[in-house]
C-alpha cells in the first residue's frame, strides 16, 4: 500500500515522514525545505501487522494549482500516480487555510486521512478544535498528531486509520464538490470562492479561538528586532560569526586535536608494523598516500560536525525565514528577491540540495541565476579548505570562515547583477513568504542531522577521497618511464608534468606551483580532495596540530613548507571557493538550469570569477603588505581584462534585449 503525505508547506510533513519511517530527511522550520519526493517503509512498531506499507513524502503545496515547480511535483503525484491513501497533514494552528487544500484532496477519489499535526501548540494559542465534528463534516478520519514527540504522538492511530481507509471498499464522498473540471476560468474562480466559503463555515463550526490570530504576539516583537531595517544585517553577521567561532575556534579545534592524535597514533602504529623491511615506495603509498591523505581530510571531521550542529539549530528555530526578509531589499536591487536566500542557506550544507532548492523560486530568470550562483556559498566540503588555511596561515581565526560566508553572499549579489544585465530581463517579481513560528531548536534533531552528515563525510573520505589520494600519490611517485622519481627532482613526476602547464596560469594569482594546481583540479571530483592532495603532495599528514608543523607564525616558516605566503594562501582559498563546484553539483546545476547554454555560461562565469577574485586578492594583498606588485601582474592583468571585457560586451548586448523584453511586457498588458 502506498501512502502519500500531502499538505501545506511547513505543516511538518517531513518531520512526520521521519517519525513514521525512521529516516532522517532534512527538516527545517521554514516553508519549502522539501523539494523532491522521498519514499520510505513504515517502522515496525507503527506497523504491527507487518503490512507492505510505503510512505511517500511530498513537497508542501497550498493548493492543487501549483505556484512554484516543487508544488507541481505534489500535484502530479497525487493526480497521476494513484497512491492508495493520502495522509493530509494539516497544521492545527492554521485550519482556516489548510482545509482549502484538504477539500481539493478529498475530491480526487483517493481515500484521505487528515493528520491534525502540531496539536500540542493549540492549547497555548487558545485554540480548541472539535475533532469528531470535523471528521463528520469532512467525511474522513481526523487524527490529532504531534510528529515532533516520540511517544503519545498519535502516529499509530494515524497509520491504523490509513490502513483501514486504504482497504475499505466504501468510497469516501467529498464534502464539497467544486467540480475540478470547470471549463472557463471564471467558473473555476467562482467554484474556488465557494470552496473557501465552505471552509470558512467548517472552521466556524469546529474551531474556537480565545485569542484572535491577528493580535500582536511576543513573536511579532522579536521579529521587529531581528528583521529590523538596520539591525537585521549586523544581527545576521553576528550569528554567523558566532557559528564559525564555535565550530572553527572554540569547540571544533580542541576536539579535532584529540581526534587527530588518534589518527596520528594509528598512522605510527601502521608505520612501526611495516618496519624497515618494506619497500619504501609501497610503504609510502599506504602510509602517506592512503592513510595520510585520508587522515588529513578526516581530521577536520570534528570542525564540520560542530558547524553542522550549529546550522541545524539555526534552521530549526525559524530564524532563516527572517533572514530572507532582511535580505529582500538588497536582493531586489539586483533582480532577485528574499527567496534567493533559501538556496544559499541550504547550500551552506551542500551545494546540491542548495541548487535544487532554487525550485522554490517562481521567476525563471531568478531561478536560473540562483542555480548558477548558489554554489558560491561555502559548502561542507569546502570547509576543510577554509579550516586548513585559517588554521595554518591565520591562527585559527574565525573571521576567515565568516568572511568567506559573506563574501559568498556578496559575490552572488554581484553575479546576479551581471546576469540580469546579460539577459536583459529586468522583470520584477513579488516577494511573499510565510513566516514560520519561532520555536526552541531541538538538540536531538540537530544531533541526528549532524551524525548523518558525519557519516556521509566519512564514507566519502573512505571512497572517493581515498581512491583520489592513492592515484595522486602514484602519479607523483613515478615519472613517465615508470621510474621512481628521485627525491631531489619531484618536478619530473607524471603529476608534476601534467599540473605544471596549469600552474603557469596561476602565477599571477600567487600560487604557481604544480602541487596547488593539481589540488585545485582534484577538487572538482570532491572539494575535500584539495586538502587531501595538498597533504599527499607536501607529505603532511596532520593539518590540525599546526604547532607541530611549526607553521604558525610568519611567512618564512610557512613558505618553507608550502612555498607560498599568507596572501597567496588567501588567494588560493578564494580561488577554490569561487571556481566551479564538484562534478556532482555541476550535474545538479545541469538538471535545474535545463539549458546547455546556461550551464556552459555558468561554468565559464565561475571559472572567471574564481580567477579574477584570486588575482585581486593576491595582487592587492601583495601591494598592501610589501609595497610592490606580485609576480606575473601584467600577464594576469591581461587575462583578467579579457574576461572582464567579454562580460562587459555581453552586458552591453544584453541591454538591447532589455528593450525587447520591455516590449514583450507591453504586449502582454
Partner 1 sequence: MSTVDFVVVGVIALILALAINKIVKDKKKGVKCIGCDACCDKSRKR
Partner 2 sequence: MMSLANGKLNTPYTVNRVNTEQEDIREFLFTLGCYPGEKVTIISKLASNYIVSIKDARYSIDEDLAKAIICSNH
Residues that bind partner 2 (CB under 8 A): 62-63, 65, 67, 93-97, 100-101, 189, 192-193, 196, 213-214, 216, 220, 223-224, 227-229, 232, 321, 324-326, 328-329, 332, 337-338, 362, 428-435, 668-669
Residues 6+ apart with CB under 8 A from 90: 7, 8, 11, 98, 99, 102, 114, 115, 116, 117
Burial 475-492 (b: 16+ CB within 10 A, else e): bbbbbeeeeebeeeebee
Q: Of 4, 3, 2, nearest to 34 (Cα)? A: 4
132 binds partner 1 (CB under 8 A): no
502 binds partner 1 (CB under 8 A): no
Q: How far is the CB of 111 from partner 2 (least distance, A)?
A: 24
Residue 478 pairs in a beta bridge with 484
395 binds partner 1 (CB under 8 A): no
**Residue 460 interacts with which of partner 1, partner 2, none, CB < 5 to 8 Å by class:** partner 1
Stretch that binds partner 1, among 228-236, 424-432, 461-469, 546-554 (CB under 8 A): 461-469
Q: How far is the CB of 223 from partner 1 (least distance, A)?
A: 31
Taking CA atoms, 659 is separated from 425, 430, 653, in Å, by 9, 21, 11
Planar angle of CA 22, 439, 313, nearest 5 degrees: 65
- Which of residues 43 and 332 has its CB atom nearest to partner 2 in the complex? 332
Stretch that binds partner 1, among 270-278, 417-425, 432-440, 612-620 (CB under 8 A): 270-278
Intra-chain end-to-end CA distance of the chain, in Å? 49
- Which of residues 24 and 233 has its CB atom nearest to partner 1 in the complex? 24
Rounded CA gap, 581 and 586, in Å? 6
- Which of residues 101 and 598 has its CB atom nearest to partner 2 in the complex? 101
Write the burial class of residue 80 (CB in 10 Å: 0-12 exposed, 13-18 middle, 19+ buried): exposed
DSSP state of 62: S
Q: Is the dihedral of CA 324, 326, 327, 329 positive or negative?
A: positive
- Which of residues 188 and 399 has its CB atom nearest to partner 2 in the complex? 188
1 binds partner 1 (CB under 8 A): no
- Which of residues 169 and 216 has its CB atom nearest to partner 2 in the complex? 216
Residue from 56, 106, 411, 564 in contact with partner 1 (CB under 8 A): 56
Report 353-372 residues binding partner 1 (CB under 8 A). 353, 356
**Residue 247 interacts with which of partner 1, partner 2, none, CB < 5 to 8 Å by class:** none
Q: How far is the CB of 523 from partner 2 (least distance, A)?
A: 37
DSSP state of 345: H
Backbone angles phi, psi at 577, to 5 degrees: -80, -30
With contact defined as beta carbons under 8 Å apart, do 595 and 571 qualify?
Answer: no
- Which of residues 68 and 135 has its CB atom nearest to partner 2 in the complex? 68
Grid cell in block for residue 493: 613526476
Q: How far is the CB of 12 from partner 2 (least distance, A)?
A: 14
85 binds partner 1 (CB under 8 A): no
459 binds partner 1 (CB under 8 A): yes
- Which of residues 37 and 362 has its CB atom nearest to partner 2 in the complex? 362
- Which of residues 352 and 509 has its CB atom nearest to partner 1 in the complex? 352
**Residue 90 interacts with which of partner 1, partner 2, none, CB < 5 to 8 Å by class:** none
With contact defined as beta carbons under 8 Å apart, do 145 and 115 qualify?
Answer: yes
Residues 6+ apart with CB under 8 A from 197: none
With contact defined as beta carbons under 8 Å apart, do 179 and 70 qualify?
Answer: no
Residues 6+ apart with CB under 8 A from 322: 223, 226, 227, 232, 435
Residues 6+ apart with CB under 8 A from 415: 369, 372, 373, 376, 605, 609
271 binds partner 1 (CB under 8 A): no
Planar angle of CA 437, 442, 445, nearest 5 degrees: 115
Rounded CA gap, 283 and 306, in Å? 34
Grid cell in block for residue 383: 570547509
Residue from 286, 502, 607, 623 in contact with partner 1 (CB under 8 A): 286
Rounded CA gap, 203 and 288, in Å? 68
Stretch that binds partner 1, among 326-334, 366-374, 582-590, 592-600 (CB under 8 A): 582-590
**Residue 279 interacts with which of partner 2, partner 1, none, CB < 5 to 8 Å by class:** partner 1
Q: How far is the CB of 38 from partner 1 (least distance, A)?
A: 5
79 binds partner 1 (CB under 8 A): no
Stretch that binds partner 1, among 121-129, 347-355, 504-512, 632-640 (CB under 8 A): 347-355
Residues 6+ apart with CB under 8 A from 188: 182
**Residue 482 interacts with which of partner 1, partner 2, none, CB < 5 to 8 Å by class:** none
- Which of residues 214 and 277 has its CB atom nearest to partner 1 in the complex? 277
**Residue 130 interacts with which of partner 1, partner 2, none, CB < 5 to 8 Å by class:** none
**Residue 432 interacts with which of partner 2, partner 1, none, CB < 5 to 8 Å by class:** partner 2
- Which of residues 108 and 246 has its CB atom nearest to partner 2 in the complex? 108
- Which of residues 171 and 224 has its CB atom nearest to partner 2 in the complex? 224
265 binds partner 1 (CB under 8 A): no
**Residue 433 interacts with which of partner 2, partner 1, none, CB < 5 to 8 Å by class:** partner 2
Size of the site for partner 1 (CB under 8 A): 39
Rounded CA gap, 98 and 599, in Å? 38
Grid cell in block for residue 539: 607529505
350 binds partner 1 (CB under 8 A): yes
Q: How far is the CB of 182 from partner 1 (least distance, A)?
A: 31
**Residue 182 interacts with which of partner 1, partner 2, none, CB < 5 to 8 Å by class:** none
Pairing relationship of beta strands 112-117 and 142-144 according to DSSP bridges: parallel
Rounded CA gap, 374 and 54, in Å? 33
Grid cell in block for residue 594: 535545463
Residues across the chain: 669
Residue whose cell numbers read 596572501: 567
Q: How far is the CB of 229 from partner 2 (least distance, A)?
A: 5
With contact defined as beta carbons under 8 Å apart, do 165 and 141 qualify?
Answer: yes
Rounded CA gap, 97 and 74, in Å? 18
Residue from 26, 118, 322, 420 in contact with partner 1 (CB under 8 A): 26
**Residue 1 interacts with which of partner 2, partner 1, none, CB < 5 to 8 Å by class:** none
The radius of gyration of the chain from alpha carbons, rounded to an integer in Å, stands at: 28
DSSP state of 54: E
51 binds partner 1 (CB under 8 A): no
Interaction site with partner 1 (CB under 8 A): 25-26, 36-40, 54, 56, 274-275, 277-279, 282-283, 285-286, 290, 350, 352-353, 356, 452, 455-460, 462-464, 466-467, 470, 584, 587-588
Amino acid at each position: 500500500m502506498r501512502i502519500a503525505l500531502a499538505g501545506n508547506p511547513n505543516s511538518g510533513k517531513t518531520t512526520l515522514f521521519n517519525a513514521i519511517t525512521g529516516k532522517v530527511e532534512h527538516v527545517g522550520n521554514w516553508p519549502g525545505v522539501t523539494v523532491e519526493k522521498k519514499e520510505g517503509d513504515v517502522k515496525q512498531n507503527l506497523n504491527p501487522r507487518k503490512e507492505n506499507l510505503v510512505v511517500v513524502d511530498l513537497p508542501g503545496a497550498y493548493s492543487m494549482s501549483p505556484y512554484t515547480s516543487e508544488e507541481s511535483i505534489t500535484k502530479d503525484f497525487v493526480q497521476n500516480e494513484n497512491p492508495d491513501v493520502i495522509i493530509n497533514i494539516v497544521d492545527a494552528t492554521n485550519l482556516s487555510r489548510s482545509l482549502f487544500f484538504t477539500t481539493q484532496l478529498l475530491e480526487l477519489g483517493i481515500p484521505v486521512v487528515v493528520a491534525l499535526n502540531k496539536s500540542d501548540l493549540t492549547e497555548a494559542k487558545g485554540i480548541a478544535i472539535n475533532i469528531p465534528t470535523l471528521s463528520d463534516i469532512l467525511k474522513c478520519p481526523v487524527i490529532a498528531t504531534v510528529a515532533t514527540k516520540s511517544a503519545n504522538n498519535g502516529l499509530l492511530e494515524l497509520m491504523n486509520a490509513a490502513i483501514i481507509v486504504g482497504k475499505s471498499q466504501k468510497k469516501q464522498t467529498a464534502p464539497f464538490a467544486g467540480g475540478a473540471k470547470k471549463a472557463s476560468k471564471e467558473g473555476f474562480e467562482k467554484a474556488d470562492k465557494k470552496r473557501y466559503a465552505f471552509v470558512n463555515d467548517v472552521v466556524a463550526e469546529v474551531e474556537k479561538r480565545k485569542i484572535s490570530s491577528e493580535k500582536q504576539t511576543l513573536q511579532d516583537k522579536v521579529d521587529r528586532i531581528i528583521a529590523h531595517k538596520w539591525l537585521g544585517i549586523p544581527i545576521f553577521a553576528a550569528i554567523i560569526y558566532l557559528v564559525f567561532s564555535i565550530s572553527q575556534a572554540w569547540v571544533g579545534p580542541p576536539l579535532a586535536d584529540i581526534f587527530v592524535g588518534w589518527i596520528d597514533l594509528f598512522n605510527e602504529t601502521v608505520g612501526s608494523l611495516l618496519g624497515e623491511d618494506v619497500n619504501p615506495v609501497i610503504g609510502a603509498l599506504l602510509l602517506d598516500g592512503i592513510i595520510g591523505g585520508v587522515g588529513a581530510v578526516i581530521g577536520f571531521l570534528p570542525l564540520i560536525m560542530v558547524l553542522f550542529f550549529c546550522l541545524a539549530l539555526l534552521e530549526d528555530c525559524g530564524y532563516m525565514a527572517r533572514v530572507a526578509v532582511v535580505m529582500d531589499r538588497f536582493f531586489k536591487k539586483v533582480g532577485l528577491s528574499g527567496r534567493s536566500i533559501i538556496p544559499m542557506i541550504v547550500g551552506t550544507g551542500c551545494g546540491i540540495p542548495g541548487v535544487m532548492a532554487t525550485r522554490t523560486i517562481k521567476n525563471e530568470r531568478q531561478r536560473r541565476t540562483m542555480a548558477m550562483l548558489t554554489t558560491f556559498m561555502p559548502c561542507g566540503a569546502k570547509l576543510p579548505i577554509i579550516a586548513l588555511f585559517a588554521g595554518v596561515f591565520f591562527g585559527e581565526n574565525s573571521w576567515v570562515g565568516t568572511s568567506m560566508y559573506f563574501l559568498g553572499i556578496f559575490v552572488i549579489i554581484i553575479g546576479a547583477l551581471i546576469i540580469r544585465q546579460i539577459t536583459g530581463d529586468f522583470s520584477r517579481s513579488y516577494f511573499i513568504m510565510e513566516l514560520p513560528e519561532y520555536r526552541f531548536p531541538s538538540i536531538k534533531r540537530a544531533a541526528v542531522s549532524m551524525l548523518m552528515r558525519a557519516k556521509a563525510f566519512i564514507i566519502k573520505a573512505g571512497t572517493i577521497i581515498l581512491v583520489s589520494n592513492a592515484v595522486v600519490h602514484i602519479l607523483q611517485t613515478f615519472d613517465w618511464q615508470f621510474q621512481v622519481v628521485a627525491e631531489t627532482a619531484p618536478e619530473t613526476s607524471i603529476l608534476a608534468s601534467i599540473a605544471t602547464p596549469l600552474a603557469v596560469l596561476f602565477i599571477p594569482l600567487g600560487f604557481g606551483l604544480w602541487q596547488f594546481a593539481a589540488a585545485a583540479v582534484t577538487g572538482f571530483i570532491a572539494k575535500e580532495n584539495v586538502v587531501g592532495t595538498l597533504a599527499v603532495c607536501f607529505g603532511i599528514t596532520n593539518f590540525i596540530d599546526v604547532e607541530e608543523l611549526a607553521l604558525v607564525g610568519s611567512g618564512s616558516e610557512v613558505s618553507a613548507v608550502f612555498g607560498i605566503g599568507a596572501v597567496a594562501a588567501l588567494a588560493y582559498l578564494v580561488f577554490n571557493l569561487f571556481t566551479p563546484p564538484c562534478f556532482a553539483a555541476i550535474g545538479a546545476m545541469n538538471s535545474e538550469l535545463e539549458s546547455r547554454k546556461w550551464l556552459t555560461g555558468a561554468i565559464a562565469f565561475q571559472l572567471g570569477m574564481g580567477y579574477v577574485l584570486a588575482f585581486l586578492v593576491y595582487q592587492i594583498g601583495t601591494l598592501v603588505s610589501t609595497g610592490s606588485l606580485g609576480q606575473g601582474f601584467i600577464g594576469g592583468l591581461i587575462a583578467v581584462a579579457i574576461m572582464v571585457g567579454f562580460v562587459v560586451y555581453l552586458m552591453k548586448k544584453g541591454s538591447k534585449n532589455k528593450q525587447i523584453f520591455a516590449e514583450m511586457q507591453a504586449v502582454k498588458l
